[in-house]
Structure 1
Amino acid sequence: MSPGASPWVLASPDVREETAMHDHRRIGRELDLFDTDPLIGAGLPYWLPDGGAVRHALEEYIRTAERRAGYRHVYSPVLGKRELYEISGHWSHYSDDMFPPMDVGGEQVVLRPSLCPHHALIYRSRSHSYRELPLRMAELGGMYRSELSGVLGGLTRVRAIQLNDAHIFCTLDQVTDEAHAALEMIGRAYEALGIAPSRHRLSLPGPGGKYVAAPGMWERATALLTDVLDRSGLPYEAAEGEAAFYGPKIDIQVADGAGRESTLSTVQIDFHQPEQFDLHYIGADGVKHRPVMVHRSIIGSVERAVAHLIEAHGGAFPAWLAPVQVAVLPVSDAESEHAEAFARRCREQDLRAEVAEAERGSLGARIRQARLVPYQAVIGPKEAVDGEVALRLRDGRRPDPLPVGEALARIGVLVSSHSTALWDDGDGA
């Protein structure tokens, strides 16, 4: 697709039918992941327990990955004074997409459209030495966009967004290493999620007045991001008119079944906000220097990430992400006690397990109902006596019956390592 082409192209009838089958809005409601209510409002979905389990697993994955990569997590308010966004440049360049100010105690406060101004203030609240840099600050935080009703849909376009955001404050000679490391984190996350980018895009400014007027700043940031992409060896395309108002960015694009693209992850280099907020660090020479701000989001917004995962997997999530990881199926009422005990063992090992009692229908019917669950644990008279479990994998495989402890240990290894494999029988399969 050419840089200027619209991704919202008409698809053939066969593609439209396939897309409808994997539409996250339909699947998400059928699987009781999320829903909406007119009393809450358009573009404001709520998460049901199974959707909450998926979201929690995703959030825990990214927090752990960030912590291991040297990030420190913060919390910041979802409100800020209008003056904050005047300083950052959001008010003059982005106010059409922001909710209107609220008058509170003689001041105007705004629901934030992004987290970066808050993080700039957190950095500014303490003095910093060059020895502390790079300083990596991360937050899974809420932000708000005043999207028009006509473009809202499911989880992909919403008004309340939970963003996996981070800002790295670093020296100029650290920028490319930090941006490159962020790209590598994105690649590892996509591998764990079982998804692939459709392309990498170098998003540049275009004609019009929505960008900060600082040609030298744009040239430096673009050269740095180009170097990062070239160093990574990833193919990419330049696209004018897709940059943030304060700087260029690398956008990782994903596509749905109809080939419609959206941006999931980003890496940005920002010289503008460190200048606006007068950020500095003390260098080895004992004088003040301006840090560079690298913005990066590994999975983007939780809402859009889950929407793409629903469509990419048709609801059959990788085992570590599945809302129910183990469906326990007693063959008859006589095995119910053993099934409940097995489910408790699963939960004690942080596996999400539910018992599908025999009264819900025949074993075959219950297996079909649990077709999207990664592991179905069938417990019949023999398994109950022998202390074993007969596993059925979602892909149809049936490993030999195993002692309960061994079965749970093997599942636990795959889940805790965020593997997309359902089973490892010794050959890595």
Structure 2
Amino acid sequence: MHDHLDPKDHRRLGRELDLFDTDRLIGAGLPYWLPDGAAVRHALEEYVREVERRAGYRHVHSPVLGKRELYEISGHWAHYGEDMFPPMRLGGEEVVLRPSLCPHHAVIFRSRPRSHHELPLRMAELGGMFRSELSGVLGGLTRVRAIQLNDAHIFCRPEQVAEEVRSALALIHRAYRALGIEPARHRLSLPAEGGKYVADPEMWRRAGRLLAEALDEAGVAYEAEVGEAAFYGPKIDVQVVDRAGREATLSTVQVDFHQPARFDLGYIGADGARHRPVMVHRAVIGSVERAVAHLLEVHQGAFPAWLAPVQLLVLPVSEEQLPQAGALVREAVEQGLRAELADPRAGTLAARVRGGRLVPYQAVLGAAEAAERLVSLRLRDGLRLGPVPVAEALGLINDQVEAGRSGG
């Protein structure tokens, strides 16, 4: 069915490498993740959570459902309704699968009294959301109906907005270095005349000016583009290009004066009076699905070691070394590595080496190595090390994995 696809297309690669697949009983635009794909996804999610934690974000969890009234207040119902799933009747109420996380985060912010001392308050969540995409545009991981979004909302004082936007951009660029992603361009997305946008010209001018200043101060070249804004405010879109030359948005930073007003958000300022916060929306890697699709095409399955589904493949030369090989796999797993055994009963050593060509590290165990608790390492780039002690080999791999995760 996918024979017509470019061999380097993520949809073809994802199936060939057993990362994800689809089934008509689950439905179009609803891919499921196989163990190797889930491993990549989890490594990516853990990386993002840790990067955010170190940048001063606190993580929350919120439900994927909300009452219709929530989205009427936020403006999604009026401005974004055709992209939402139809409401479900629940007694006398209607509940909706959420099309975005921001209304939930606005409600969490206002659930407690807030002081200016708490701001900026950076609230992050890797959360599910749903878009009722037409079946004709669905494909692979890039256009899906169930999305796991790396989302965050920063509630801050107006004078803190520019610095928070700059910090969000720096976080995005740092993640791209660790992931091996090259942004194609940065876009300042503005509203079009007569579109489905919140009508408040001064708000749009003010928000657009703040984003443009942040881009200028960060030294980032950008192009203004009319008609690509969110309904509630302008945004910076970080654009990437796929193998077919199609451009897509991966990461965003948005300034929102609208939803804080709609939800009547407030904090007590230094003057003792109540003030309205500004909401900065940002996504470092955007949706996990689109990020994995792009990374799959960028790396063609040869992911950076920290992201690879299997980081270490242990290859005993013969069945005699199976006990030592099994022990090495267990030791590697205990140290936090994703390690697997390439069973000698599954083929010759050469065939197993070829089969694991995308794995960053291969550890070959022959009779001499097994007797001395040594291992010969093969790196994906063809470099060979060894024989070296097992502890030294695992230490080297762990160091390399951590260096890559840090963007080093």
TM-score bracket, shorter-length normalisation: over 0.9
Large movers: runs of 4+ above 4 Å: none
Which residue number in structure 2 is paired with residue 33 of structure 1?
Answer: 19
* Identity rate, percent: 70
TM superposition shift of 1:18: 12
Which residue number in structure 1 is paired with residue 223 of structure 2?
Answer: 237
Q: Helix, strand or coil: the match of 1:219?
A: helix
Judge conservation of contact 2:72–2:78 (CA < 8 Å) in 1: yes
TM alignment of 1:12-411, pairs within 5 A: 20-411=6-397
Judge conservation of contact 1:200–1:236 (CA < 8 Å) in 2: yes
Q: Which runs of 5+ in 2 are unaligned?
A: none
Judge conservation of contact 2:5–2:12 (CA < 8 Å) in 1: no
TM superposition shift of 1:197: 0.5
Judge conservation of contact 2:195–2:227 (CA < 8 Å) in 1: no
For 1:235, give the aligned amino acid.
A
Q: Counterparts of 2:265 and 2:181 in 1: how far apart (Å)? A: 37
For 1:148, give the aligned amino acid.
L
For 1:158, give the aligned amino acid.
V
For 1:49, give the aligned amino acid.
P
TM superposition shift of 1:417: 3.4
Judge conservation of contact 1:111–1:143 (CA < 8 Å) in 2: yes
Cα RMSD after superposing both structures: 1.4
TM superposition shift of 1:401: 2.0
Q: Counterparts of 1:147 and 1:420 in 2: how far apart (Å)? A: 36
For 2:124, give the aligned amino acid.
A
For 2:144, give the aligned amino acid.
V
Q: Counterparts of 2:222 and 2:147 in 1: how far apart (Å)? A: 27
Deviations 1:30-74, CA, capped at 9 Å, x for gaps? 111111111111000011111111111001000111111111111
Q: Helix, strand or coil: the match of 2:181?
A: coil
TM superposition shift of 1:388: 1.0
For 1:409, give the aligned amino acid.
G
Q: Counterparts of 2:243 and 2:185 in 1: how far apart (Å)? A: 15
TM superposition shift of 1:418: 3.1
Q: Counterparts of 2:351 and 2:143 in 1: how far apart (Å)? A: 37
Q: Counterparts of 2:184 and 2:245 in 1: how far apart (Å)? A: 9
Q: Counterparts of 2:395 and 2:115 in 1: how far apart (Å)? A: 46
Judge conservation of contact 2:190–2:227 (CA < 8 Å) in 1: yes
Judge conservation of contact 2:47–2:405 (CA < 8 Å) in 1: no
TM superposition shift of 1:225: 0.1
TM superposition shift of 1:207: 2.1
Q: Helix, strand or coil: the match of 1:60?
A: helix
Judge conservation of contact 1:229–1:236 (CA < 8 Å) in 2: yes
Q: Counterparts of 1:324 and 1:183 in 2: how far apart (Å)? A: 31
Which residue number in structure 2 is paired with residue 5 of structure 1?
Answer: none
For 1:160, give the aligned amino acid.
A
Q: Counterparts of 1:25 and 1:93 in 2: how far apart (Å)? A: 32
For 1:162, give the aligned amino acid.
Q
Judge conservation of contact 1:19–1:257 (CA < 8 Å) in 2: no
TM superposition shift of 1:19: 7.7
For 1:78, give the aligned amino acid.
V
Q: Counterparts of 2:405 and 2:105 in 1: how far apart (Å)? A: 33
For 1:209, give the aligned amino acid.
G
Moved more, 53-62 or 396-405: 396-405
Q: Helix, strand or coil: the match of 2:81?
A: helix
TM superposition shift of 1:416: 2.5
- TM (normalized to structure 1)? 0.93
Judge conservation of contact 1:19–1:256 (CA < 8 Å) in 2: no
The verdict on how the C-alpha distance between 1:41 and 1:276 changes in structure 2, with shifts beyond 3 A counting, is same
The verdict on how the C-alpha distance between 1:192 and 1:19 changes in structure 2, with shifts beyond 3 A counting, is farther
Q: Counterparts of 2:386 and 2:328 in 1: how far apart (Å)? A: 17
- TM (normalized to structure 2)? 0.98
Judge conservation of contact 1:43–1:159 (CA < 8 Å) in 2: yes
Deviations 1:278-336, CA, capped at 9 Å, x for gaps? 00100000000000000000000000000001111101100011110001000111111
